[in-house]
Copies of this chain bind each other. A is one copy, B any other.
Amino acid sequence: MFSKACKYAINAMIYVATLPEGQERAGLKEISKAVNSPEAFTGKILQELVKHDLLHSVKGPNGGFHIQGDTSKIVLSEIVEAIDGDMLFTGCALGLEKCSEDHPCPVHHKFQAIREHLTGMLMTTSLKDVADRVNIGISFLKY
């Protein structure tokens, strides 16, 4: 469904979104420890998220990553698209290059519904939604 890189990205973003006001900046080490992901690889992924303006970074002592603005404004689909691209949202399930309404693959219509369900969920689920669940202790980022 998602690549490993994308899973790490989502987990990392959720973790940063769970940070309390005031201490809303976390270093790479802290993040990768919190979500149980390989540090250096996670660094690359966070760089990509920074490039996509989903995350901000500060260098130097006490530097780290944080989310600028409201976490309710960032939705999961943005993270997925930043890391995995839009194949999940637009690509043919069976790999046909020109799969469309006019020239549909054998599962085109059956998949359409699922895709809409999936993208709908990803486009309406904000970081705040999921981070809140972690903060109140009803869902988890590790193990």
Residues of A bordering B, CB below 8 Å = 1-2, 4, 7-8, 10-11, 14, 76, 88, 93-98, 103-108, 110-111, 113-114, 117-118, 121, 125, 130-131, 133-134, 138-143
Pair B106/A141 contact, Cβ less than 8 Å: yes
Bound CA span A133–B110, Å? 12
Contacts A1-B1, A11-B94 given; does A130 touch B106 at CB 8 Å: yes
Number of copies: 2
- Contact B106–A134 (Cβ < 8 Å): yes
Given contacts A2-B93, A7-B93, A8-B95, 9 further A-B contacts (CB under 8 A): A11-B95, A104-B139, A105-B140, A108-B139, A110-B121, A110-B125, A111-B121, A113-B117, A114-B118
Write out the residue numbers on chain B whose beta carbons fall within 8 Å of the beta carbon of A113. Answer: 117, 121
Q: Is the CB of A98 within 8 A of B143?
A: yes
Q: Which residues of B contact A7 (CB under 8 A)?
A: 93-95
Q: Inside 8 A of A111's CB, which chain B residues have their CB?
A: 121
Q: Which of A94, A110, A139 has most chain B Cβ within 10 Å?
A: A94
Q: What residues of B have a CB within 8 angstroms of the CB of A97 in the complex?
A: 143
The answer to whether A105 and B141 touch across the interface, beta carbons within 8 angstroms, is yes
Chain B, Cβ-Cβ closest to A91: B1
Whole-angstrom distance between the alpha carbons of A118 and B103 in the complex? 22
